[in-house]
Amino acid sequence: MSALADDHYPPTTRGRTAYLLFRFITLFFATLMLIAVSVAAGRLNQPSWLDPTLAPGITSFLYSLFDIISVVLGETRSFYLTRIFLDGLLAVGFPIAAGFLGRLAVPLMDGVARQRGDRDGEAVEAMGAVILTCMLIQMIIYGGVSFRAVRGWVSRRAAEGKGGEVEDKTGKV
């Protein structure tokens, strides 16, 4: 069996519920982040926030959505190497995007708006905090999924290298 042929993922597979839960969480936070940045850009006049948030937000949303659909409807999931690289890239990309967003948002979130009693300033602070929190949570989840994929790929390669048969996730050879 090839190291890439781990796509069969039936409902009886150990860890499937946790995998789907993490994908649903990333889908939720990607959606929340996209809504928050849309509000910040349109209602709060912060269009520069779109640049560092749309690319990772849309990528996270679509990747999680397609992975959930393939696991639930097709009983398959992404290959190890896809999870290693795409989840890993998102885990690295979110802190980079958060750094750019922080550079734009932190000067607006310094509390001056609260001192003046500016309601839009408070909303900008809240939206900035929501977006940055969503990025942080997704970064942690994608890093964990990528790390698990690396561990699974390495253990599968080691088992194949010993000449033994590799069991799939259902316990069948």
pTM of the model: 0.81
Interhelix angle 119-161/88-105, nearest 10 degrees: 160
Q: Which of 171, 173, 172, 169 is nearest to 77 (CA)?
A: 169
Mind listing the pLDDT tens digit of every residue in the chain (173 residues)? 333 445 678 888 888 999 999 999 999 999 999 999 999 888 888 888 888 899 899 999 999 999 999 999 988 888 888 888 999 999 999 999 999 988 887 776 666 555 556 667 778 888 888 999 999 999 999 999 999 989 988 988 888 877 655 555 544 43
Report residue 81 as tokens. 């190497």
